[in-house]
A and B are shown apart, each in its own frame.
Chain A
Amino acid sequence: MLEIKNLKKSFDGRQILNGVDLTVEDGQILCIVGPSGAGKTTLLRCITGLEAADSGEFLIDGQPFDPKGMEASDAVMGVVFQDFNLFPHLSVLENITLAPQLVLKEAKAAAEQRGLDLLDQLGLEDKGGLYPYQLSGGQKQRVAIARALAMKPKILCYDEPTSALDPQLRDEVATLLLKLKAQGMTQLVVTHDMDFAEKIADKLLKVTALDQKG
């Protein structure tokens, strides 16, 4: 279970998040929704340690953790970026197996076996040898998911998983996230697409812009 209490964040004196609380139960999907500029991405970036929160409490299974200092700890968060940030010079399989080898010190063969299993699971079984530029948007996203899963995270976070894709692919993404949920993955999804959120969410968190006065 992930708990965040009283998270605050400001940029250049402008308060973006003022005391956000959230809880995600194991195996559930929390959707973070809200209008553009409300601070959804900022919230996700604070939780995943890409941005330093000004203050707030972070607990995983009741234990405090520091999102910024995750290098030292067990894999906690996996991140699927809005534009995926795949490594263009590495093949799909290398994208997936690089970090498990370098960080988790897995043997190459074991990392590759697991990478192939993940590709299988995500319907990319014949794509391991391709390079990111040879993939469609939806395929890139699934590679990004496989890459995050390979690090065995407790929680998988997505920023706008439907925004870079064709509208028809929206349902496919929903199906995929529900499938991961069925396997027990805890997921945190930022989206401004309410239909999508309602389809997948166990819980919704609405973020509203703070400084739209008047």
Chain B
Amino acid sequence: MPPSPCALCKVNRALILRPKDHSKLCRPCFLSTFEAEIHHTITSSRLFERGERIAIGASGGKDSTVLASVLKTLNERYDYGVELILLSIDEGIRGYRDDSLETVKRNAQQYGMPLEILGYDELYGWTMDQVVEQVGKRGNCTYCGVFRRQALDRGAAKLGVKHVVTGHNADDVAETVLMNLLRGDLPRLSRTTSIVTSTPSLSADGAGKNTNIKRSKPLKYTYEKEIVLYAHHKNLDYFSTECIYSPEAFRGSARALIKNLERVRPSAILDVVRSGEDMAKLVPGSDEGCGGVCASAVPAGEEEEGGCGSANGRSSGGEMATMEDQLSQNEAAKANGLEVEITSSKIKKSEAPLPLTVGKSRKVPKASQPRKEPKKQVMGQCKKCGYLSSQEICKACVLLEGLNKNRPKNHIEVGYEQEKDVNGATEAMKQLDVGAG
């Protein structure tokens, strides 16, 4: 094939084929286009405010590394006037974070940003290794995922930072859209498609006082492929690993489906993201009318943070198990005629039927089974930790309760004094223990 010239400068040889529009770009034109599009997302969604302190959820992986690099570039180029810091979470899996935390430390130097590393032990009183010791290797991804979901907010609250940006990319968002459609979880669809969400979390200073943590995804419309290419062509220093506890999590996942769709038609990824946004607008009571841009950001609540390890918004097999619960909410939506409306107006017949194979087979409750009343999802705050939750006690606290209850008795007695002041959550769990015992 003869080399093609760049579609923008018409001079250099094209090296990049853009998935969203098939344009062919040279290296410098690709880098500047990539940055300009993220700048556009930031300004058109008014993500940042001058003077804001912003924590970048940093794992040392490609997404957060590219996010940190691009935000530094844009903050200087366009004078956003924001203060950027790196915030890393250490799950406490022996050896697992060593290299990635080293990468984040190098990034902190390379980008001249302060770095804070907070461990699950500091945030929850349990390292993942301790969780695995307790519950075994199967199912621990649920813990990892639920803890991860709150970790950045809890961490930010601890640091007194009110805005956390994450490296969720278009592929991540498209995956969660598909997962929520497969589950039939329309309320969550709304939350996961918004570019800005907000979450009450326990603030650092006040005992029991809550602070709202804003979350945003500046890379929401950015293809994973282009993130990897940007990192490559800019020679960024990032780290790749797979979660040692779930090497098989990828197989048969919605993620695999997304990548197959991309191979057939690359624009499918952004199409899924946009469709997700459109459908979210139809969800009753959704704040999505403004496209998630308006001041009253959608509560982040139980946003899918993915199962495990290094992944951002990646699904894991275990999550499919919650599908059954969600089916009852489906019923409510059906009663409103919502499902019919979406089917007829928003989903075109696909050109080719794609096998929607996802890890586990979808369990449909038998008609004879008594159905739970479809419960209205009202976002409140967890009574234990203050984190936003649709239940009285948030998932993390429920999991912690189970963990702490089963902690070997002598361990609790011996460990009580030392652990007493680890943090509020642990303390709260102790009280739960007493009550339950």
Bound pair (A, B): no
Q: Which residues of A contact B (CB under 8 A)?
A: none
